Structure 1
Amino acid sequence: MNKRCQQDVAAWVREYRLGLRRYFSSRVNLSDVDDMVQEVFAHLHLQIKKSGADIKNPRSYIYTIAGNLLVSHGRYQKSRCRASHDSLSWELDIPDVITPERRVIGIQDCHRVRQAILRLPPRAGAAFKFHRFEGMTYQDIAERMGISKESVKELIQRALVRVRKAMDEVP
């Protein structure tokens, strides 16, 4: 890239930087604005360096790049579901100490779950144990038990309902 082109790009940065910041500020997260502006000028620099073309209407060219980056940015954000992510809070209420009372409650809960699993009907119990304890897929369980995959899904669903119900019962 010759010296004149470098001077042109530097002049365009001074002239269009604030306008691009306003353009992006209303369309993306404020933490991304400066990165987007920088990306526009990096792309512009690369295009001039690669093609060596003389740009007749820099404003139009720059805002076309900005629009294309905005579309790409939107696609990226959508694919990452960024809007639905929550930040982790380090102020979670996690008890520091396991008290004797909590230990007894845990033992009782484990006993109720075990009893609920043991009381499941034979086929539902087998499907549940294969899936939860042996890590088998529905397809593997279906082949092993000689039933359809949908039947396995239904058996496991029934087993889960019974186990949850047993957990909700007061001892």
Structure 2
Amino acid sequence: MAGSGKAGFARMFAEHRATLRGFFTRRGGGEDADDLVQEAYLRLLRAWQGRGEAIAAPEAYLYTVALNLAREQAVKRRASPLGQEELERLATVLGSDACAEQEAERAQRRRRILALLAGLPERTRTVLVMQYRDGLSYRQIGERLGISTHAVKKHVVRGLSECRRAMADEEDAW
């Protein structure tokens, strides 16, 4: 190590801090990575001061200390239950998987509904879209299409009936 004493250790700290932080982060240190880096240097300084002599290979010693700290942290994580932050992070990860699965199911259901709608007569499809997508009442739909509210109701009932029957047939096929 170039330089001796605390000044040399300070330089080494500046040179290796980012590498050690990454080392601890990859080994599950996460938010504690900065604290673990500092602890590694503190242990190095204590060893140097306690020995009263120079450490022959301070960088190797530093990485040995870091490895031991990472092992200690791993043992602590296994021994202790999950903290609140870790539980929240886990819930987020699991929730995102569930959300992705739900999103895939919604997309599949949407494709199926679009296929069913495409198979309906044009007027029936138009009535269903105007009611469910646009939120129009029977009266509003009838006015726009120039048909009676009774005819609108017949198209809605017929369209929903055909869609339900097709979906039931598919479920029975499974």
- TM-score (structure 1 length as normaliser): 0.45
- TM-score (structure 2 length as normaliser): 0.44
Q: Between Structure 1 and Structure 2, which shows a larger proportion of helix residues?
A: 2
Larger radius of gyration: 2
Of structures 1 and 2, the one scoring higher in RCO (CA 8 A, sep 6+) is 1
